[in-house]
Structure 1
Amino acid sequence: MATRIGLTLAAAAFALACLAACSPLTALNALSPANGVHASTGLAFGANPRLKLDIYRPATVTAASPVVVFFYGGNWTSGQRESYAFVGRALAARGFVVVIPDYRLYPEVSYPDFLDDAAQAVAWTAKHIAGYGGDPNQLFVMGHSAGAYNAAMIALDGRWLAKQGMTPAALRGWIGMAGPYDFLPVENPTARPVFHFPDTPAESQPVNHLDGPRVPALLIAASSDRLVNPARNTGGLAKRLRARGVSVEEIYYDGVNHATLVASLATPLRKLAPTLDAVDKFVRKHTTLIQVQAM
């Protein structure tokens, strides 16, 4: 047991050293095994050159798999799908088909244009994912930070999917990690122009969209998150959703912060928090997935 713990600590120390030496996301991708996972990259889902997505799927499946569309964070001003290959690989290794789309960023666009992009990616997935081994009837949206906001708005505010001929009722569930769901007035100086501060519309807030279909939610946050207040955002939204009869699972982890919460999905940092297990359990709970061996 002591040897096993020592190896775990050594692996974590090595991973953290790599994170410090180069781009953190690049390091996580380099240290995340791709064996057993097939990737299809650079698939266009819209006319804009940025609207492309990557798909990660298990190398072998015996039935159509649940599908998770993952939106990355970056304050709606930065980010690219290739940087989150570790997320796609982690979830695909658990038997899911994972879609990671890009979306337009500020200053090219501002609220609410990126939500149209997110809805377009979900609609493309629903239409085409069967060709990649996914079950469009077992569809989830997921995101971290700004991406969790995107996922929340897709699941809670029916306007965006309605433009694509869909409804949030088509979702089996949604997963938010360290998401900003209630942030008026906008305090983050980077996010202010994205949301037209000081004229940010109240309708931009996920907490103000609670009357739609009751889509089950898994809300995960870092207890010590200093960028997005977990009590106000994760806790506040969870409380309001439950009051409306929505099934909500609410988890807080002590061993991570705002950034390392999503990093804990990667192979070398999973000892920081059981985030991947929580996502895996939630998806399986809300699907008819044939059980596969966890990796």
Structure 2
Amino acid sequence: MWTLAILIGFALLAGLALWIALQRNAPAVLDTIDSVAGPASGVEKVHQASTGNHEEQRLIVYRAKDSDAPLPVFIFFHGGAWAHGSPVDYGFIARNVAPDGYVVVLGGYRMNEPGRYPAMLEDTAAVVGWTHRNIANFGGDPERIFLSGHSAGAYNVAQVALEPRWLAKEQVPSSAIRGVVGLAGPYDFYPFDTDRSRAAFGSVGAGAESQPVNHARADAPPMLLVHGEDDTVVRIRNSRALEKALGEAGARVETLYLPGKTHNDPLLALTNPWRRDPLVFDRVSAFMAAQVSVPVQAGSP
């Protein structure tokens, strides 16, 4: 009897410790779980670089040890309401995506006061620019780049891909961006009516031009929007609005709406052991594979 009580006590303490860790830094916990639960991936960190003077302006490059070059590139930006997060905690993205034949870049950007709009977009574009100029040195193909992000990171990549000035500033040709994968992203949230959006956008005079839905265009990169239907952090109406805007503009857009899923579920689906339900991961993989073989068209910065 005492043995059972002790085991239950340890289980409760372990559960409490896990809950506390998730509250403090959920991606870091997911990264640890993925590294333990997932198969050996052979993925290694091959480079780190700064894209500015702030410590959050950084990127990390991963690739599989036995991969052949040149490989298409998958650039991922973390979420965190433009207030917290770090690419250091998202190694699970690289471990799961790189074995499919990609060089993976985890990008960082300034947050909180230093990262107020449009700084987070300047930093996102800087990561893409660095990648386009340098990724060939690490086995990547600079003309086959995919952008992805979760939550705030999904906003960053959608806006940078749709509003031409960001990539033009970095001299990245539009043809180099083969596709965008947005996970639970906010794309249509003006006027700013939450503490998070006001903190990141409200005091800098940003208006409707800050919204991805207002930059939909026929020649936009193909987009895959993944969203949980029960997401209460970023409502699914954001993805539906961007889908509608892109479709009306004549752009290529795909969606994967997940019944009963919430804000973090699209991200969890890219990690082990949750990846055992292959719906999201397989759809993302298929979307990118379809664009990899598309011939590069002439594009202007």
Q: What is the match of residue 289 of structure 2? A: 284
**Equivalent residue letter for 2:85:** G
Q: What is the match of residue 298 of structure 2? A: none
Distance in 2 (CA, whole Å) between partners of 1:131 and 1:284 is 23
Distance in 2 (CA, whole Å) between partners of 1:41 and 1:191 is 33
Name the CA shift for 1:273/1:22 in 2 (closer, same or farther; >3 Å). Answer: farther
Name the CA shift for 1:62/1:272 in 2 (closer, same or farther; >3 Å). Answer: closer
Distance in 1 (CA, whole Å) between partners of 2:254 and 2:86 is 29
Q: Give the deviation of 1:83 after TM superposition.
A: 1.1
Q: What is the match of residue 219 of structure 2? A: 213
Q: What is the match of residue 58 of structure 2? A: 52
Q: What is the match of residue 28 of structure 2? A: 26
Q: Give the deviation of 1:260 after TM superposition.
A: 2.6
Is this contact kept in 2: 1:256–1:272, CA < 8 A? no
Is this contact kept in 1: 2:41–2:64, CA < 8 A? no
Specify which structure has the higher proportion of helix. Answer: 2
Alignment gaps of 5+ in structure 1: 1-15, 290-295
Distance in 2 (CA, whole Å) between partners of 1:184 and 1:172 is 28
2:235 matched to 1:229?
Answer: yes
Q: Give the deviation of 1:218 after TM superposition.
A: 0.5
After superposition, the CA RMSD in angstroms is 2.2
Q: Give the deviation of 1:198 after TM superposition.
A: 9.2
Q: Give the deviation of 1:273 after TM superposition.
A: 5.9
Q: What is the match of residue 8 of structure 1? A: none
2:72 matched to 1:66?
Answer: yes
Which residue of the other structure, out of 82, 88, 96, is the alignment partner of 1:82? 88
Is this contact kept in 2: 1:31–1:267, CA < 8 A? yes
Q: Secondary structure at the match of 2:126?
A: helix
Q: What is the match of residue 168 of structure 2? A: 162
Aligned length: 274
- Please show how residues 88-127 of structure 1 align to structure 2 within 5 Å: 88-127=94-133
TM-score (norm 1): 0.86
Distance in 2 (CA, whole Å) between partners of 1:270 and 1:19 is 20
**Equivalent residue letter for 2:27:** L
Q: Give the deviation of 1:238 after TM superposition.
A: 0.7
Q: Give the deviation of 1:35 after TM superposition.
A: 3.5
Is this contact kept in 2: 1:143–1:149, CA < 8 A? yes
- Please show how residues 235-254 of structure 1 align to structure 2 within 5 Å: 235-254=240-259
The structure 1 segments of at least 4 consecutive aligned residues displaced by more than 6 Å after TM superposition are none
Q: Give the deviation of 1:185 after TM superposition.
A: 1.7
Q: Give the deviation of 1:187 after TM superposition.
A: 2.2
Q: Secondary structure at the match of 1:135?
A: strand
Q: What is the match of residue 196 of structure 2? A: 190
Deviations 1:175-197 (A, max 9, x none): 11111000012222122121125
Distance in 1 (CA, whole Å) between partners of 2:258 and 2:97 is 20
Q: Secondary structure at the match of 1:190?
A: helix
Alignment gaps of 5+ in structure 2: 1-14, 295-301
Is this contact kept in 2: 1:115–1:153, CA < 8 A? yes
Q: What is the match of residue 171 of structure 1? A: 177
TM-score (norm 2): 0.84
Q: Give the deviation of 1:227 after TM superposition.
A: 1.3
Which residue of the other structure, out of 267, 270, 291, is the alignment partner of 1:265? 270
Is this contact kept in 2: 1:156–1:168, CA < 8 A? no
Q: Give the deviation of 1:63 after TM superposition.
A: 3.4
Q: Give the deviation of 1:278 after TM superposition.
A: 1.4
Distance in 2 (CA, whole Å) between partners of 1:159 and 1:17 is 47
Q: Give the deviation of 1:271 after TM superposition.
A: 4.0
Q: Give the deviation of 1:109 after TM superposition.
A: 2.8
| Bigger shift: residues 181-190 or 152-161 | 181-190
Q: What is the match of residue 6 of structure 1? A: none
| Bigger shift: residues 110-119 or 27-36 | 27-36
Identity of aligned residues (%): 37
Q: What is the match of residue 10 of structure 1? A: none
Distance in 2 (CA, whole Å) between partners of 1:169 and 1:281 is 20
Q: What is the match of residue 279 of structure 2? A: 274
Is this contact kept in 1: 2:34–2:272, CA < 8 A? yes
Q: Give the deviation of 1:272 after TM superposition.
A: 5.2
Q: Give the deviation of 1:22 after TM superposition.
A: 2.5
Which residue of the other structure, out of 31, 39, 54, is the alignment partner of 2:45? 39
